[in-house]
Structure 1
Amino acid sequence: MAHEFWKSAGLHLTEPSAEGWAAITPQLLRAYWTRPEVHPVEESNDFEIGLHEALLVDPMRSVSEADLAALEDPDAIETYRIILAFRDVLMSAGTVEGAYLKLVRGHKTTAPIPPVFLDQMVHLILRNALKDCGDPLRLRAAEIFFREQTVSTPDGRLMLADEEIVEMQSKSQNIGLAQLLAETATPAKSIALDVLDEENKALYWGRSDRFDTVIDFRFEQPALDAFARVVEVWLKHMIGVSVRVEPRPKVEDRDWRWHVGLDAQATKLLNALYEGRDVSLDQMSQIVGLFRMRFDDESRLIERVRGKPVYLALAKDAEDCVRMKPQNLLVNLPFVASS
């Protein structure tokens, strides 16, 4: 039986396409017109109020330059331009997955698309790709794809917790992540940060939208392997590529041919290692996950990578935060250029 999880992703606002992607619907587009940034305020003029009401009725309604000018308020005009640019990409692609691929492959939009919109797309895409997943650890590991993670190392462990939740807890209780993990008796108003493992992972089902569980990301821990499985699902769902991803403690390869950093910091570190530059132990300690990836079908790969693995890394930055860029897996692989 399939479990319910991540209702906040909005998959229920889409319909399945023929290829199994999430097709755009008026309901999904309407959700963006209900965002607080675009909701009329006390100072809004009558035209803005009327336009907003019309877009709630018909989220695909055309909006002209004259309509935008009639809003009068520069902030409102800018907000509308952003939502409209995003809507245009969604509608032209027809699916959330297709729109995401267009954006990460450099599609030019009429206004900049906020990073939070990309995170929301990844959230929805993974909810779709993992709809039959029965492993809460895999789902928790998938959160790394679309939510920033705070890293701590209590008692030699490598703990990843949701950055937003930790920040909220730290401000309310004036303590850090290590203390949050150590506390057993917490005030009723607080959010318990339970460490998810094989024994208690069922608790995830009842609170998946709270993003308040922690995982141990050390080598040979199940969460690291769960993350590797999500990478496999992501690539299969998005670009139809079957891969096998294996966590590794380090790179031992004298003939290293290709790598992909899963975030900005990991990219810098892998580039330095690949180029033979000196990398300090402190810098190496920033890597929280290292993986070796092999392709089931190598016919799409460039010649010099065939028969060789691709190395992946995930790292924390100077603020002990993991900010994954899942698009790197889609645009930085060593494929032969399409004709």
Structure 2
Amino acid sequence: MKNIRLAGIVLMTILLTITAACGQQQTTSLKVAEVTRSIFYAPQYVALEKGFFEEEGLEIELNTTWGGDKTMTALLSDGSDIALVGSETSIYVHARGANDPAINFAQLTQTDGTFLVAREKVEDFEWEDLNDSTFLGQRKGGMPQMVGEFVLKQHDINPQEDLELIQNVDFANIPNAFASGTGDYVQLFEPTASIFEKEGVGHIVASFGEESGHVPYTVFMTKESFINQNEEAIHKFTRAIYKAQQWVQEHSAMETAKVIQPYFEDSELDLIATVVDRYKSQGSFATDPVLDEEEWNNLKAIMEEAGELPEDVDHGTLVNTNIAEEVINE
């Protein structure tokens, strides 16, 4: 009798172990390379902090690779599985004849993220005020520079003739150059623009994002082969991002700021909230992950205007909307 009872306990233990194992979701690890660390990417950090990736059975290893070239190198060399970077990089890679192209599958931001900052406080700013000024712009060939020049041309300003355009300063050194006295105007990302305004170094007078319209400014992309071999994981990743996009849309800037503050420990909470509110109010955060054809064509128009479009690439060649659309329709 004792042996029968013992056997029953052992059997029950085995059954409970099997049941628990079956109930556990298998975890998939994904390496993500972000082009920079920015409040502009708030929904990504919300997805991490709110556990949306974990709910999908994903373990995310996030690395900041500081620059489009380094980010794409990490992706193409298998140093990362997914890259968060501007869509223009996928066009550059495709034009070089990549056998395994980078495919855009989930959009995170849908406007330019830079602001025009003036050294002096300008009452009733007009874009024509930039004529005959010194403008400290962004690196040539990057989206900030291309959007910046596109907006200037929209306001009948020739960047090469109507002002002194400075483009030989490295991205990381642009804020210091302006703070040290270079330029009457500068094109800056947040939170630097708001920090400069708070410290009296400069004054935000216009938004390049508002002026340029919707573009696939920052997008999650991966190699075509990776999607083919890991479609379920990409689907889960996109679902987590969509949850975060909806969460940011439905919650206040301060609520979002509190969630993402661990990623910006050197920034005050109020400043983070100010930046989130500025981006949210101008529609910079995409509310769903679909990169549509109109946005893609707007990107190409900006690149072509800047003389940086190596070839005309159709939307369907480098963009996969199927996964994002399936996630939204679930």
- TM tier, shorter chain? under 0.3
The TM-score with structure 2 as length reference comes to 0.24
Question: Quick one: higher RCO (CA 8 Å, sep 6+), 1 or 2?
Answer: 2
Structure number with bigger Rg: 2
Per the normalisation by structure 1, the TM-score is: 0.23
